[in-house]
Amino acid sequence: MGKSSIIFSCILFLALGFFSYNLWKIIRNIRLGKSKNRFDQPLKRTKILLKIAFGQTKLFARPISGILHALVYWGFLVITIGTLEMMVDGVFNLDRSFGVLGGFYNVATASGDVMAVLVFVSCIMFMFRRLFLKIKRFSGKEMKKSSSIDAIVALVIIVFLMVSLLTMNIGYIGIHPDSYFGSFPLSNLLLPYFVNWDLHLLHDISWWVHIILVLIFLNELPYSKHFHVVMSIPNVYFSNIENLGKMENISSVTKEVKLMMDPNADPYATPPVDTPPPESFGAKDVTDLNWVQLMNAYSCTECGRCTSECPANQTGKLLSPRKIMMDTRQRIKEVGKNIDKHGKDYTDNKTLLNDYISTEELWACTTCNACTQACPLNIDPLSIIVDLRRHLVMEESAAPQELNMMFNNVENNGAPWQFSAADRLKWKDE
């Protein structure tokens, strides 16, 4: 093992170790959520995964940014093969070790070479848009300056990643003009511009710059909104595959209501008799939410597509579904830090409800599902809103006056109006 292999192995070990440690913490935080069965219908879930996560289909609702984003995503998928090869090469002091894959390697390297240019162009356009165009959905009270800086830093890293990948390819084919593994159509076109360069040096510097940037980017992910690069696949797979308008009822409450509305209903028919009633209703803090909702929070890209479609937000209400997701993420991170510092049983007397999300925001929601429909990662802000409202209504009796009146009417009259069912047709006599 050469000196450079040992140095590289140490750097790789530290970088992967640090990333794994942060990933473990995030998984632990997600597991603080309540259980939720999302392991059903694997075939349907896989189809949705292929269409929405790998196909990026929901992004095409806005064609230009959608195509650019999809190019970056697909580019990353292809280029990851080359990154894995570099790690193997670096540890074992090899050169293009995946070259033994023959035809597949030619396709992978050719795609990577072309995608590097497309990703480069897309990122430059994204940067231009961020810096010089005032896109409304990138603003909002929940959007701090750090969100914008985070996005620019990631774009700059990706631009340098693509440049170093191309210069590494140019160096490689320049050093081995007649006997190289793979296919590099665009690097071949660019090679004549580098004839006077020291191609060995260019290749070696590009190799190190590229792999170090990959490891820096990897370790930046858990601290930034770009963690969706990791989370998008599980998030889409475990997303809600029911019709969007279908509300999840609490089965034990449904049973009571059914019996109340119809005293002749079979008390053992729905739900099954072994369904235990919940310990508490709805959610007050993040630990009352389920693990899918917490995973949603970690997956949010802060793109604002949900907020830009939200009718409450459009009409000047306080509600922003993106803020709901960002607040949930911020709070679960805070709870995780408290556990790290003070142990599992520590409480800071703060809650997601009130300390992060106000009742005014919650009651502004029309439950229209436009946010869920618009989200490119199938994130469901409405489910969090409904759970927080459920807590307000069922644990604190803190619904707005208009709703309390309606609840009383349903309880007393079996209908939302102030009349009993027997009086329903009285208007006819008049």
Q: Which residues bind ligand SF4 (CB under 6 A)?
A: 300-306, 309-312, 319, 321-322, 325, 365-371, 374-375, 377, 379, 381-382
Q: How far is the CB of 406 from ligand SF4 (least distance, A)?
A: 19
Q: How far is the CB of 355 from ligand SF4 (least distance, A)?
A: 20
Cα-based distances in Å from 197 to 167, 202, 346:
11, 7, 61
Cα-based distances in Å from 248 to 175, 311, 313, 383, 390:
62, 22, 24, 9, 11
Contact residues for 85 (Cβ-Cβ < 8 A; gap 6+): 96, 97, 98
Q: What angle separates helix 199-220 from helix 3-30, to the nearest 10 degrees?
A: 20
Q: How far is the CB of 314 from ligand SF4 (least distance, A)?
A: 9
Q: How far is the CB of 41 from ligand SF4 (least distance, A)?
A: 22
Q: How far is the CB of 368 from ligand SF4 (least distance, A)?
A: 4
Nearer to ligand SF4, 113 or 309 (CB): 309
**d(Cα 305, Cα 372) in Å, to the nearest integer?**
10
- Are the C-beta atoms of residues 79 and 120 closer than 8 Å to each other? no
- Are the C-beta atoms of residues 32 and 294 closer than 8 Å to each other? yes
**d(Cα 235, Cα 253) in Å, to the nearest integer?**
29
Nearer to ligand SF4, 54 or 160 (CB): 54
Q: How far is the CB of 364 from ligand SF4 (least distance, A)?
A: 7
For 168-213, the three-class secondary structure string (H helix, E strand, C coil) is HHHHHHHHCCCCCCCCCHHHHHHHHHHCCCCHHHHHHHHHHHHHHH
42 cis-preceded (ω within 30 degrees of 0)? no
